[in-house]
Amino acid sequence: MVKKFPNLCKPIKIGNVYYRNRMFGAPMGGTDITSDCTIGRASTAFYELRAKGGAATVTVSELVVHPETEGSHMFHLDLKTVGALSSFTYTADAIRRHGAIPSVELSHSGQYAGTYLTDKDKKGSLNQWGPSDGVRPDGLPVKALTKDLIKDIVKSYGTAAEIAKRAGFEMVMVHGGHGWLINQFLSPYFNKRTDEYGGSLENRVRFAQEVLDSIREAVGPGFPIEFRFSGSELFEGGYDLTEGVEIAKLLESRIDLLHVSAGTYQRGFRITHPSMFLPHGNNVYLAAEIKKHVNVPVATVGALNDPEMMEEIIASGKADIVEMARALLADPELPKKVMANKEEDIIHCLRCFTCMAERAMTSTRRCTVNPLIGRELDGTEIHPVANPKKVLIVGGGPGGLQAALTAAKRGHQVTLCEKADQLGGILVSEQALSFKQEMYQLGCTLGKLVKDAGVDIRLNTTVDKDYVEAFNADAVILSVGSEPIVPPLKGLDGEQVIIVNDYYRKKDKVEDSVVVLGGGLAGCEAAIHLAMEGKKVQLVEMRAELAPDANIRHRPILLEEIKKQNITVHNECKGVEVTKEGVICEDTQGNKTLIEGKTVICALGQRPRRDVVDALIDAAPYVATIGDCVKASTITTAVYQGHHAALDI
Ligand SMILES: Cc1cc2nc3c(=O)[nH]c(=O)nc-3n(C[C@H](O)[C@H](O)[C@H](O)COP(=O)(O)O)c2cc1C
C-alpha cells in the first residue's frame, strides 16, 4: 500500500526495540490511582485504548520514584507495595498486546510535590524538597536535598526502572522537564547550590547524568531510555535554548531518545500544553534546533495533530518522532487512520482543556469530542444490535451527529433531519474565529463520518409532530440545541447589533470599534477574535468576573489573552440601552455611562429550545433529549449524551 504519510508511518529502531511508526503517545496520567499504589483498572483501559488505536508507544505516567521525598501522587511502583507490581504488569500487557511499546514515565516533582493532589490541604503536610532552600509561590517552604537524599533518589530511579522492566515495560521515559525535580536541578532559576550539583551547567546536569547512569545500570544495554526535557524553560531566569542545546549534548551519550518539550507547568502552562491561541506545532523549533547538535533520535511534542504537518516535520529533519497527548484522547485511532490513508476521518482535539480541567475538578478524565475517554471500562466497542430500529435524529449539531454516528454503527436505520442548510449546529458559527477552526471542523468531520456510516441526512428539514408520526420512527433523539438570549433591551434590535452566533455571516459589517455585550465564554472569545482582527474592543459584563462558564484550565489562558489583546473590560456593568454610539451601561451604584462602539455584539447566553422538545416529546415510543435543548451547556455534554442516547435505543 502506498502511504500518503510515508515518514510518519515508517518504523524506527531505538535501542534494541522496533517501533511500528513515528507517532508516539506522550504521557498522560490515568485517574483511578489507588492508595495501595496500584494502577486501577480504569487507567489500564485508558492506556489500552491508545495502544489499540495504533500509536507506536503508550506512556504510563506519574510513576513516583521516591515517595519518601515526594508523595505528590498517590501511587508508585515499589516492591514494598505488593499490588503495584501486578497492576503495572497487567497495564504493560494491555498496551503490548495491541502492538504498541509500553513505556513508563519515571518522575519526581521535587519542590512542586503536591501539585496534583486533589486535596490541596494535604500539600502542607508534605515535605517539599528541591535543589535549594526557598519558598514556593504558594508560600510553602522548600528544603534543599542533602547529598545523602540525592544519592537515595538517584538509586530509586534505577530501582523503579528495573521493576518496570520486570513488569513488561520495554522502555522508560525520564521526566526531566516541565519544572519537576530534574528540571529544577538543570535550571539556574531553581538551582542555587554551591556544591558539585549547582553553579556551572556541567554541575547542574550532574543529577540528570547520575539518574540516567543509575537507570542504565538497572536495565542494561539496548533497553531504550527516553529523556523528556524542556528545550527552553521560556521564562526570565530559566535556561534558554542555547543552554538547552548544551544540556542535550551533555546527556545524549546516556540516552536513546531525546524528547524535547517546552516551558514549565507552573510558568507557562499554555506553552507546555499549547492553548488554542497558539499555532499548531509551536514548540517544534526547539526540537529542530537541538536535533542539529545531537546524534540520538529526537522527538517533538505540542499541539500536533495534523498528519501533513507531522509528516513535514519528519521529512524535513526537524525531528524523528512526533509525540501526541491530547490528539490521542480526541481520536485514539489517529495513528491507525494515518497508517490507512484515512486522515479525513480523524477527529481533532479542540485544545479546550476539558481533559485537564475535569481531572482537577472531578478527578476524572473526559474529552469533549470523545465520549469514551475516562469511561473505557464501560466498553469501547460498539456492537451491532439484534433488532435494528428506525431512528430519527432531530438536529445536526454535535450531539445529534454523535447520536447518529453511534446509532448507525449499531446497525440502526438512521435518518438525521437538520433545519439549516448545513450540518454542525452551533459549531457552524465557530468558522469565523481563527482559533476555533477545529470546533467548526468537528461538525464537518462528524458530518462526513455520519454520511459514510449510511445515515440518511435531510438538510433544510424542520421536524414537527406530523413529520415524526408520518415517519413512523421507533426511536427519536431530540438534539435541537439552544437559541441566543436576546433580552428586550432598548435598541438591541438595531442594525448595528450582531448576535454572536451570526457573526460568521455578518463579519464584514463589523466596524472598527466594537462593544461586546456579555462576558461569558462566547463573548470573551468573540472579543479576543475581534481584537486580533485589529478592532478596538470593549467588553461589558454584568457579573464581577469574566467567563465563569469557562473551564478552570482554559479560563486563566482566556483572561491572559484578553489582557494581551488590550481589550477594555467593564465588569459589574449592565447594558441598559443600545444606541448608534454604543451601549449605555449602568454600574452597581446606578451611574450611567456610554461605552462607545459602532458595532455591538450581543453575547448574552443561550437558552434551550424547549418549545420544540415539548412539541415532540411523545411523538415516538422512545424519545431521548440530549445536549443544549435540555440545558444550555457544553459540546462535551452534547457529544456524551448523544452517544449514550444512541446506545440506549
Ligand atoms: C490530560 C493530560 C495529562 C497529562 N499528564 C502528563 C503527565 O503525567 N506527565 C507528563 O510528563 N506530561 C503530561 N501531560 C503533558 C503531555 O504529555 C504533553 O506534553 C502536552 O499535553 C503537550 O502535548 P499535546 O499538545 O499533544 O497535548 C499531560 C497532558 C494532558 C493533556
- The atom number, within ligand 1, closest to the CA of 365 reads 1
Regarding whether 396 and 278 lie in a shared domain, the answer is no
Task: Look at residue 61 in the predicted model and tell me its pLDDT.
Answer: 87
Q: Which of 133-142, 524-533, 635-644 has the lowest mean pLDDT?
A: 133-142
Q: How many domains does the chain have?
A: 3
Is 324 close to ligand 1, i.e. is its CB under 6 Å away?
yes
Task: Look over the chain and give the mean of its residue pLDDT values, rounded to a whole number.
Answer: 94
E-strand ranges in 188-344 read 225-230, 257-261, 298-301, 321-324
Please name which of 219, 290, 228, 223 lies closest in space to residue 265, comparing C-alpha atoms.
Answer: 228
- Give per-residue pLDDT as tens, 576-588: 999 999 999 999 9
Residue 489 domain flag = no
Dist CA 558 CA 143 (whole Å): 35
Q: Is residue 488 part of a domain?
A: no
Q: Where are the alpha helices (DSSP H) in 510-622?
A: 521-532, 554-564, 610-616
Nearest CA owner, ligand 1 atom 12: 27
Ligand 1 atom 23 nearest Cα: 302
Task: Quote the CA–CA distance of 341 and 327 in Å, as a whole number.
Answer: 17
Q: Whose CA is nearest to atom 6 of ligand 1?
A: 28
Whether 306 maps to a domain, the answer reads yes
The pLDDT of residue 72? 58
- Cα(53) to centroid of ligand 1, in Å? 18
| Cβ contacts of 162 within 8 Å, gap of 6 or more | 218, 219
**In terms of domains, do 341 and 416 share one?**
no
Q: What is the pLDDT averaged over residues 373-384? A: 93
561 ligand 1 Cβ < 6 A: no
Separation CA 606–CA 518 (nearest Å): 11
- Are 242 and 201 found together in one domain? yes
DSSP secondary structure of 304-316:
---HHHHHHHHHT
- pLDDT class of 328 with cuts at 50, 70, 90: very high
Higher pLDDT pick, 604 / 115: 604
**543 lies in a domain?**
yes
Asked if residue 404 and residue 279 are part of one domain, the reply reads no
Q: Which of 558, 570, 572 is nearest to 526 (CA)?
A: 558
Report the CATH number that the domain containing residue 25 is assigned in CATH.
3.20.20.70
Strand order in the sheet with 582-587: 573-579, 582-587, 592-596
Q: Which residues, at least 6 apart from 526, have a Cβ–Cβ distance to it below 8 Å?
A: 433, 500, 503, 516, 601, 603
Q: Which residue has the higher pLDDT, 268 or 286?
A: 286
pLDDT, one tens digit per residue, over 215-242 is 999 999 999 999 999 999 999 999 999 9
Is there a contact between 478 and 399 (Cβ–Cβ < 8 Å)? no
pLDDT-derived band at 74 (thresholds 50, 70, 90) equals low
In the predicted structure, residue 76 carries a pLDDT above the cut 70? no
The domain that contains 554 carries what CATH number? 3.50.50.60
Q: Are residues 599 and 612 in the same domain?
A: no
Verify whether ligand 1 is closer than 6 Å to residue 76 (CB atom).
no
CA of 61 to the centre of ligand 1 (A): 9
Concatenating the DSSP letter of every residue in 98-157 gives: TTPEEEEEEE--GGGTTTT-SSGGGGGGSPEEESS-EE-TTS-EEEEPPHHHHHHHHHHH
Residue 75, pLDDT score: 52
* pLDDT tens column, 159-215: 999 999 999 999 999 999 999 999 999 999 999 999 999 999 999 999 999 999 999
444: pLDDT strictly greater than 80: yes
Same-domain pairing of 110 and 129: yes
CB of 29 sitting under 6 A from ligand 1: yes
Ligand 1 pocket member 327 (CB < 6 A): yes
Residue with the bigger pLDDT between 567 and 136: it is: 567
**What mean pLDDT is predicted for residues 490-515?**
97
CATH number, residue 418: 3.40.50.720
CA distance 445 to 99: 28
- pLDDT of 120: 59
Regarding the beta carbon of 528 and ligand 1, being less than 6 Å apart is answered: no
Distance 557 CA to ligand 1 centre (A): 17
Domain-embedded: residue 396: yes
Residue 348 Cα to ligand 1 midpoint, Å, equals: 16
Rounded CA Rg of the chain: 26
In a domain, 491, yes or no: no
Q: Are residues 319 and 237 in the same domain?
A: yes
The domain boundary, picked from 377, 399, 414, lies at 377
Residue 73 scores a pLDDT above 70 = no
Q: Are residue 462 and residue 551 in the same domain, yes or no?
A: no
Instruction: Give the cell for residue 76.
Output: 508508585
Domain's final residue, options 357, 377, 397: 377
Query: Within this chain, do residues 454 and 581 fall inside the same structural domain, yes or no?
Result: no
Site to probe by mutation for ligand 1, drawn from 23, 24, 28, 229 as the one with most ligand atoms within 8 Å of Cβ, is: 28
Average pLDDT over residues 432-442: 96
Grade residue 13 by pLDDT with cuts at 50, 70 and 90: very high
Tell me: pLDDT of 77 over 80.
no
For residue 136, pLDDT beyond 90: no
Q: Are residues 68 and 135 in the same domain?
A: yes
Using pLDDT thresholds of 50, 70 and 90, give the confidence band for residue 34.
Answer: low
Q: According to the model, what pLDDT value does residue 255 have? A: 98
The domain boundary residue, chosen from 349, 377, 405: 377
Instruction: Determine the average pLDDT of the residues in 89-108.
Output: 96
What range defines the domain where residue 613 resides? Answer: 387-483+608-647
Per-residue pLDDT at 116 exceeds 70: no
Whether residue 492 is contained in a domain is answered as no
Identify whether residues 478 and 553 lie together within a single domain: no
> Looking at the domain assignment, is residue 28 inside a domain?
yes
Provide the pLDDT for residue 80: 65
Q: pLDDT digit string (tens) for 276-289?
A: 999 999 999 999 99
223 and 128 share a domain? yes
Q: Is the pLDDT of residue 118 over 90?
A: no
